[in-house]
Amino acid sequence: MEELRRLEKFQSVVSAVTSHGLLSSSSSSSASDSTSSRFLSNLVLFLAQPCGELDVDSKLALVSEFLPKISGPFLEEISKSLERDDEAKPVKTSSCSTESPKSNVKRSVMDNADLYTSQKHQQVVAMVGLDAMKRANSTLEDFSRSYFMFHRLDINEPQSIFRFLPVLSFTESYIYQIDALNEKIVNESACASQVTCSSHGWNAESRVLIEANPLKPLEDLLEREGLLTERIQQEFKSGEEYWALERKLCHALSKKNKICLEDVMRAIHLKSFDYRVLNLLLYKLRGEGVNELHMDFLSISEFLVEVADDLFDYEDDVLENSFNVLRMFVGIFGSANAPTELAKRISEAEEKYEEIMKSLDPHLSSNYQRRCEDATREGGKTSGHPMGTWNIPAVISDEEAYRAAAQR
C-alpha cells in the first residue's frame, strides 16, 4: 500500500509535467523517451521538495542552465500538490541506469528519501525519543494490566502483549513526548526568571507545534495505518484541550489570578485522554466495536485514579507548578475549604463508580477490583479507590514560600 501511494504521487508528477507541455504526448513511444520522462519527472519531484535553506528561486538558479523550461510558478504548484499528499516526504534523485523501465520506476518510487532532511521538517513527522519511551513504559504496563481484561486478553500470555505493543507503545511515547514539552512551558510560570528554550533542548518551533496542533503528526500516522477513528480524533482534541487548560490554570495560579472551577473539573476529566486513546486503539486493532458500558465505567475510574495520583504527588506538583486538582481547589476555595470541596467530588464519583460496577460481569468486576488493590499496594499509596482510604495531604497556602524553602 505504501509503495502504491508513492507510485501514485510519482505518476501525478508525470501527468503534470506532460500537461504543462514539458514533454510531448508521444514521449512514451520509445525506451529512450520513456527514460527521459522518468528522469525529468524525478527531477521535478526533487526540486519541489525542501532542501536545507534553498528556496525555489535558488534551486532554479542552480539548474536553469539545464532546465530552462521549468518556472517558479510551476514548481510552486507541484509543491502545494505534494503538501496535500499524506505521503509527502523529502526525496533524492534516482540514478539513471540501464535497468528496465519497470525496475527503474520502482527504484525512483522506493528510494524517495532525502538524506539531508532538516530539523524543521522532522518536527512535522511523528517521532519519539528514548526518554519518552522510558517515561511511557509504566503507563503501558498499567494499561495492559488494567485494561486488557476488558478485551478478554490475558496479560500472562506474551502474544497478547506483543501483538499490539508496537502501535500502543509508539502512541503513548509520542503523547509523553509532547506532554514533556508542554510541562516545560508550564514550569516557566513558576520560575523567577524565564527559562530559555535552548537550555531545555527545545526551540520556538516546538512551542508553536505544542500550542497549535501537537497531535496532528500522530493522527496522520494512525490514519495511514487505517487505525484512526472519529472517537480517537475526539480524544486527541481532548488532549490538546487538557494541555491548553494546564498552561492556562497553572499560569493563573502562579500569578494568583482567578481560577474557574469548571475549567479545573474539565481538566481533571480530560487528563486521562491517553488511556482512552490506547483503549480505543485496542478496539480498532482487534476489529471489535467499542463497549460503551466499559468506557463509561473506566472513565469514572480514571477520574478517581487521577485524583488519587494528584493527592500522592501534591508536594512535587507544587514545586514543579504542574496541574494538580488539590492545588487548584486551594486556589478557588482557599486552604480551609479546599479539602472538603474536593472530598465532595470524590464521593460523587465513588457513587457513580459503584453504581456502574454492578452492571459489569461479576468476574470482570472482581478482577478489576483485585487489580486496583495491587496497584494501590505497589504504588505505596494510602489514598485511592476502591481499595484503601482517601488521605488528603496538608494544603500549602503559600506556594512561593514553599518553593523558595525547598531551594535552600
pLDDT at 236 exceeding the cut of 70 = yes
Q: Which residue has the higher pLDDT, 407 or 231?
A: 231
Q: What is the mean pLDDT of the chain?
A: 79
All 3 cell numbers of residue 304?
A: 478517581
Q: How far apart are CA 262 and CA 35, in angstroms?
A: 65
State which of 15-29, 67-81, 244-258 shows the largest mean pLDDT.
244-258
pLDDT at 387 exceeding the cut of 50 = no
pLDDT band at 271 (very low <50, low <70, confident <90, very high): very high
Q: Which residue has the higher pLDDT, 251 or 25?
A: 251
All 3 cell numbers of residue 129?
A: 525519543
Q: CB burial class (10 A; 0-12, 13-18, 19+) of residue 132?
A: buried
List phi, psi (to 5°) of 171: -60, -50
What's the pLDDT score for residue 394?
Answer: 95
* Percent of the chain whose predicted confidence (pLDDT) is above 90: 52
Q: Give CATH 1.10.600 domain extents, the chain.
A: 130-407
Q: How far apart are CA 2 and CA 195, in angstroms?
A: 42
pLDDT band at 375 (very low <50, low <70, confident <90, very high): confident
What's the pLDDT score for residue 182?
Answer: 87
DSSP 310-354: HHHTHHHHHHHT---HHHHHHHHHHHHHHHHHHHHHHHHHHHHHH
pLDDT at 335 exceeding the cut of 90 = yes
H helical segments located in 85-129: 101-110, 119-122
Q: pLDDT (tens digit, 9 = 90+) per residue, 275-299? A: 999 999 999 999 999 999 999 999 9
What's the pLDDT score for residue 17?
Answer: 62
CATH classification code of 130-407: 1.10.600
Strand partners, 51: 54
Q: pLDDT (tens digit, 9 = 90+) per residue, 170-208? A: 999 999 999 988 888 887 655 543 333 333 444 555 566
Q: pLDDT (tens digit, 9 = 90+) per residue, 57-113? A: 777 777 666 566 666 776 677 777 766 654 444 434 333 433 443 344 333 333 333
Number of C-beta neighbours around residue 107 at 10 A: 15
Q: How far apart are CA 293 and CA 278, in angstroms?
A: 17
What's the pLDDT score for residue 400?
Answer: 92
What's the pLDDT score for residue 5?
Answer: 52
**Lowest mean per-residue pLDDT among 76-85, 145-154, 216-225, 313-322:** 76-85
What's the pLDDT score for residue 199?
Answer: 38
Rounded to 10 degrees, the C-alpha dihedral 115/110/173/211 comes to 70
DSSP 5-71: HHHHHHHHHHHHHHHTTSS-TTTTSSHHHHHHHHHHHHHHHHHHS-BTTB-HHHHHHHHTTT-TT--
Number of C-beta neighbours around residue 351 at 10 A: 11
What's the pLDDT score for residue 10?
Answer: 57
Average pLDDT over residues 210-232: 91
